[in-house]
Chain A
């Protein structure tokens, strides 16, 4: 089925550990995004990639890095996890600027940092 695939679905990390969240889309979308979702705060943009080869900071980029590996894949890396990074992380993709189709979201990664 076409869509956005995120791995892993669940992860528990110890403070200071690193990990990479993977995201891939098979819709030939140009733009990809990483959000975190925390109770009562909606979705906050961490990083985005408007097109292959470009990445930009969003609202809450501190503590994260991203890589747009190719048109399909956009990964999010936590270099040294902190308890404040406990959250649900969503990857999304879209056709690109000016398109009216909104975003397609993955099913999320639930990350707990202890």
Chain B
């Protein structure tokens, strides 16, 4: 089956940029997603990118996609304490089913 891999932990200082990386294996993925999970809550869709795009920017969020290397990244500019959460990368198959990574715990320190 397909695998989505992420590093498990990232520590960043408030005001710095965060970069969360993800690799996926299914080259036929149509969309790739980033979800955010705050403590005790469900997952919220942060942003997504269509597979024929290289970059997508949405306010403080920048998604970069390298299809050749099957690498996806999420950059958060000016990271705030409210950005502390678990971030999940996910790829979709042609049926719309999502395969999630294990999640990256982001801790923002003052």
CA distance A102 to B103 in the complex (A): 17
Residues of chain B with a CB closer than 8 A to A35's CB? 100
Residues of chain B within 8 A (CB-CB) of A53 are none
Interface-located stretch among A66-74, A78-86, A93-101: A93-101
A111 CB-CB contact with B under 8 Å: no
Give how many A residues have a beta carbon under 8 Å from the other chain's beta carbons: 29
Interface residues of B, count at CB 8 A: 27
Question: Which A-chain residue is minimally distant from B103 (CB atoms)?
Answer: A42
Which residues in chain A, 84-114, are within 8 Å of chain B measured between CB atoms? Answer: 90, 92, 94-108
- Pair B101/A42 contact, Cβ less than 8 Å: yes
Known: A98-B30, A100-B31, A105-B44. A42 touches B102 (CB 8 A): yes
Q: Give 4 new A-B contacts, CB below 8 A, not counting A50-B95, A101-B45.
A: A4-B42, A41-B102, A97-B95, A97-B96
- 13 pairs across A/B with beta carbons < 8 Å? A4-B42, A31-B96, A40-B102, A43-B88, A59-B1, A92-B43, A97-B94, A100-B30, A101-B45, A102-B31, A103-B43, A103-B98, A108-B41
